[in-house]
Every structure is written in C-alpha cells, then in structure tokens.
C-alpha cells in the first residue's frame, strides 16, 4: 500500500519570542522541519505534504525542494483541522502517516515500526510513558488493555490525568477511513479546536483496531515550544551523534563537548578533542587527530593527518600525513596534497599546496598554485586582489620564498627559484635563480631618538601652540 506523509508545520511558536516561525528554529545548524523532512524522505513515501501557516513565505523559501507538496492552513484551528487541509489531496488507498514539524528527533526505526502496526483495518498511534505527563493528552485503555480514546489534558478528569501513557500526536491511518473520521470532528472542547486525536474514538466505534506503539525513548518524541526545550533537544542531539561515532570506534575526549551538525564519516582510530564542531559533510580518514576547538565544515581529511587546536577548515580537501594549525584557516577551495604543512596564523583560500610544501607562519596564500616541496616563509602574502579582480599566483616545485615577501599577482615563481626576504615581486622570477627586490637601506648617524618631556615642559609647549615634544629630524636635516 502506498504511503503519503503529512507534516504539520503551521504553528507560530509564540513562546520562542522570535521572528522565525517555530519550524525554522535551528537544531544542530538546521531548521527543525529539515530534520523531520529528512526522516520522512527516508521512508520512501509516494508524497510528502507540509501543512504550513505562520511565516508562510519564510517557511516555503527555506525548502525549495519541488517534491514537497505545500498545503496552506490559513487559520489554525487545531491538529485535526490541519490534516483536513491535506487529506483531500491523498488517494483513498494510501496509508497516511502524520508527523510534526517541531518533533525533530523521531527515529526512522520507530516510524517503521509504527507503520507496521497500522493497516487497512487498523489505526496506529505512537504513545510514550512520561513520569510527568502534565500538558499531554492521555491514552485511555479499557480493562482488556485496548485503546479506546485519547483525552487532552484540559478535558481530562482527575483520574484520567493520573494516566502516564501519553499521546505523541504521531499516527498512521488508512486515507479513506481518515477522511470519514475527520469530516465528523467537532470542536466542542476546552480549546475550541478540532483535535486529530478525536479520530481514535471514532475509529473504535467503526470497528477499527487501535494499535498503540510505545516509543522506546522520551527524547525522540519531544516537541519544541520554547528556547529551553530547544536547548534540551540540542543536548540530546549531541549525545546521540557522539554515541553513534563512538560506536564506530571514534575516540571522543568529552562527548558533552562535541557538536555534530551534519554527516560524519570516520575511519579507524580517529580522535576528536574537546569543543570540536563538525558541520555539513565531514570525512575523516584513519588515525586523523582533530585538536581542541577546531571547526570543520564540508571537509575531507586523509589518513594520519593532524589538525592542531583552534583551526577553522571550510570546504577544503586535505591529503595524508598533513599538519594544519594551530590557529590556521583553510577557506573554500583549499587543497593540500600529502605531507603538506600549514602552520599557525596562516590563511589559505582557493589554493593548492603540493606534496611536502610548507607555509608554517603568519602567511596568506590565496588564488595560488603551489608546487611540490615549496617553502613559504613567515609573513608571505600573495597579493591577489586589485580592488576589482582576483589574480593567480604560481609557485613552481622546489621554490623557496623568503620571509616578508609580497607576491603581486599575476606572477610566477619558477622551479627551484629563491626569493630574498622582504622582496616585493611584481614580475615573474626565473627558475634556479635568486631574485631580490629591495629599496636602498640608509642609516642616519646624527639622528637621536626623542626623549619623553616632563609634564611641565609638555604643558608649556602646548600652551604656546608648539609641539609637545621635539620631532625627530628628517633625512634631509
């Protein structure tokens, strides 16, 4: 039987005190709704319908996927009313799975079990056992332990409020039957809304079996209504991601201080120190070591490479046996071949460093192609931007760039060339030669360093409109 998924995402989220609609609040760097959509798509449904309302334009703009069917709920009149907006679009012979855009940690395995609990003549709901069920709808069972009704907190009797099995809102039902049940919903309740949960009692009346699957963990069915709950789910997400990595053999120095905000593929014997952030797609080879405080976004790192503390790598590819950092920044388009070194306070952008090449100190390498076994001295800058255009620098194999060198692009440094320290290179340097560019050095024997005047002398000079202290003589004096 084909599956259609309906995701309810129309809520405003007033308690967030934010201009962002609730389903766009970020969890692990992505909107809440993105997590739910990812889980939904992993179930390979025939169609996904997102019922949206508050912040309609923002929500749709955040998800340009043409496969999403958007259904506007202009007035928010409850969960039942929300599903009513989408149900006419779904064929009667489909199964309908209802999810929530603010319940981001739902496990795909749990959803698969929920789908198995449903059928053409049954309704499946997902429940959870809570030690403190205040605020949740209660799942009511008869003496034979069969579910016969769900009652909301505000409509429950004192006895019913003592029930600890609670409704999560997630359910699966046959589309044709669900259409009939929704058409008969009433809003004569404490909130004046059309509750989706009311279809349970109607399904029982129609002779359908209601199967309640109890969620294996409380965390995966928790919704988000305020920033505290959002932070709690962020912590839970971190815990889950760290546990998954450690299960594959990754050593994490402190799982509470690792943030995974994307997909991580790790080889054997990888080590992650404290306060590491991994974003986007991160692929780590065998025996990679990531130092404390590093941020990695969409990077691939080869075997036996060390990223030293407090380095930031974005959209970069790093070879094997490389060393990066500490305090290095590799910007998009960086490629380091095997055995390359990039040291402290070095920035690399849209550049390639060949095998065994090094830029160890205080340098900027941008829009450059650096060959093999090149040494880039401290304070070297590739001057790649003229105010309007970016220009390339080429440094061929075996070149040695002295400290404090300015390479004014476009420029080429030939194979095995040496550039003397302090040079400003504006023309290509020939291979196998020393290139020097420096102004004449002068020493002034009669110059004297200014002495600090007393406060009285300074005040007197200022009062006369003169200098507060003698100026040093110029080289023409």
Catalytic residue, from 321, 361, 373, 446: name it: 361
Q: Which residue has the tokens 């931007």?
A: 385
Per-residue pLDDT for the chain (477 aa), expressed as one digit of tens each?
Answer: 799 999 999 988 899 999 999 999 999 999 999 999 999 999 999 999 999 999 999 999 999 999 999 999 999 899 999 999 999 999 999 999 999 999 999 999 999 999 999 999 999 999 999 999 988 999 999 999 999 999 988 899 999 999 999 999 999 999 999 999 999 999 988 888 999 999 999 999 999 999 999 999 999 999 999 999 999 999 999 999 999 999 999 999 999 999 999 999 999 999 999 999 999 999 999 999 999 999 999 999 999 999 999 999 999 999 999 999 999 999 999 999 999 999 999 999 999 999 999 999 999 999 999 999 999 999 999 999 999 999 999 999 999 999 999 999 999 999 999 999 999 999 999 999 999 998 888 999 998 888 887 888 878 878 877 555 445 555 544
Counts for the chain of helices (H) and strands (E), in that order = 9, 38
Whole-number Å distance between alpha carbons of 153 and 47: 33
Q: Contact, 290 vs 309, CB < 8 A?
A: no
CA 340 – CA 127 distance, rounded (Å): 54
| Residue 163, token pair as written in the block | 């029930």
Task: Report the pLDDT value the prediction gives residue 466, as an integer from 0 to 100.
Answer: 58
Distance CA 149, CA 164 (A): 14
Instruction: Return all residues near 187 (Cβ < 8 A) that are at least 6 apart.
Output: 77, 78, 193, 194
46 CB-side CA count, 13 A: 12
Asked if residues 402 and 377 have their Cβ atoms less than 8 Å apart, the reply is: yes
Asked if 402 contacts 421 with a C-beta cutoff of 8 angstroms, the reply is: yes
Q: How many angstroms separate the CA atoms of 148 and 165, rounded?
A: 13
Tokens of 34: 């993105």
| C-alpha to C-alpha distance for 192 and 349, rounded to whole angstroms | 58
Which residue intervals of 72-198 are DSSP H helices? 79-86, 108-117, 158-161, 175-183
Query: Distance between CA atoms of 244 and 259, rounded to whole angstroms?
Result: 13
How would you label 271-306 residue by residue, b for 16+ Cβ within 10 Å and e otherwise? bbbebbbbbeebbbbebbbbbbbbbbbbbbbbbbbb
The CA distance from 174 to 349, in Å, is 55
Evaluate whether 401 touches 379 at the Cβ level (below 8 Å).
Answer: no
Residue 342: name the closest of 370, 315, 384 by CA: 370
Tell me what pLDDT residue 109 has: 96
| SS3 state of residue 204 | helix
Q: Kindly list the strands in the beta sheet with 358-361, ordered across the sheet, starting from the edge strand earlier in the chain.
A: 251-252, 271-272, 289-290, 306-307, 323-324, 341-344, 358-361, 375-376, 400-401, 418-419, 434-435
List C-alpha distances in Å: 182 to 115, 137, 203, 441.
20, 18, 10, 89
Give catalytic status of residue 321 as yes or no. no
CB 435 within 8 A of CB 423: yes
* CATH (one of 1.10.3210.10, 1.10.12.10, 3.90.850.10, 2.160.10.10) for 227-435: 2.160.10.10
> Which helix H or strand E contains 283, and what residues bound it?
strand 276-284
> Mapping DSSP to helix (H, G, I), strand (E, B) and coil, where does residue 378 land?
coil
* C-alpha to C-alpha distance for 161 and 210, rounded to whole angstroms: 21
Q: What whole-number distance in Å separates Cα of residue 127 and Cα of residue 137?
A: 10
Q: Which fold has domain 3-221?
A: Spore Coat Polysaccharide Biosynthesis Protein SpsA; Chain A (3.90.550)
Q: Where in the chain is the domain with CATH 3.90.550.10?
A: 3-221
Please tell me the predicted confidence (pLDDT) of residue 469: 47
Count of C-beta atoms within a 10 Å radius of residue 428: 14
Q: Reduce the DSSP state of residue 138 to 3 states and report it.
A: strand
All CATH 2.160.10.10 domain ranges of the chain, comma separated, are 227-435
311 backbone dihedrals φ, ψ, rounded to 5°? -100, 150
């Amino acid at each position: 039987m084909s599956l259609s998924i309906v995701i309810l995402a129309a809520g405003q989220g007033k308690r967030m005190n934010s201009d962002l609609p609730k389903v766009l609040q970020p969890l692990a760097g992505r909107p809440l709704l993105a997590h739910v959509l990812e889980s939904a798509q992993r179930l390979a449904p025939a169609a996904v319908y997102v019922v949206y309302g508050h912040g309609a334009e923002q929500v749709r703009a955040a998800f340009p996927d043409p496969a999403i069917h958007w259904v506007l709920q202009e007035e928010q009149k409850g969960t039942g009313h929300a599903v009513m907006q989408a149900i006419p679009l779904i064929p009667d012979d489909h199964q309908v799975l209802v999810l929530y855009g603010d319940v981001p940690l739902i496990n795909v395995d749990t959803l698969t079990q929920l789908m198995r609990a449903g059928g053409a003549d049954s309704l499946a709901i997902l429940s959870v056992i809570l030690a403190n069920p205040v605020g949740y709808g209660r799942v009511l069972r008869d003496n034979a332990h069969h579910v016969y009704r769900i009652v909301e907190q505000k409509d429950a009797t004192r006895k019913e409020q003592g029930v600890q099995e609670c409704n999560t809102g997630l359910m699966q039902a046959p589309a044709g039957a669900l259409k009939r049940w929704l058409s008969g919903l009433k809003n004569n309740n404490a909130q004046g809304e059309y509750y989706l949960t009311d279809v349970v009692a109607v399904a029982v009346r129609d002779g359908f079996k209601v199967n309640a699957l109890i969620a294996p963990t409380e965390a995966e069915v928790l919704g988000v209504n305020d920033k505290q709950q959002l932070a709690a789910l962020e912590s839970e997400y971190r815990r889950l991601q760290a546990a998954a990595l450690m299960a594959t053999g990754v050593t994490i120095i402190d799982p509470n201080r690792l943030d995974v905000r994307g997909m991580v593929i790790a080889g054997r014997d990888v080590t992650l120190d404290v306060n590491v952030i991994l974003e986007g797609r991160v692929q780590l080879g065998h025996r990679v070591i990531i130092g404390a405080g590093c941020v990695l976004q969409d990077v691939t790192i080869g075997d036996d490479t060390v990223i030293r503390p407090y380095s930031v790598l974005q959209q970069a590819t790093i070879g094997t046996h490389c060393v990066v950092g500490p305090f290095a920044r590799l910007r998009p388009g960086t490629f380091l071949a095997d055995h390359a070194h990039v040291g402290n306070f070095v920035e690399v952008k849209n550049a390639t460093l060949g095998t065994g090449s090094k830029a160890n100190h205080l340098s900027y390498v941008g829009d450059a192609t650096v060959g093999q076994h090149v040494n880039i001295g401290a304070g070297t800058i590739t001057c790649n931007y003229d105010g309007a255009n970016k220009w390339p620098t080429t440094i061929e194999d075996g070149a040695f760039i002295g400290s404090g060198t300015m390479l004014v692009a476009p420029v080429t440094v030939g194979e095995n060339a040496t550039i003397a320290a302090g040079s400003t290179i504006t023309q290509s340097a020939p291979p196998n030669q020393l290139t020097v560019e420096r102004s004449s050095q002068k020493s002034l024997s009669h110059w004297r360093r200014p002495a600090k005047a007393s406060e009285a002398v300074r005040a007197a000079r200022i009062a006369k409109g003169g200098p507060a202290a003698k100026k040093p003589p110029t080289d023409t004096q």
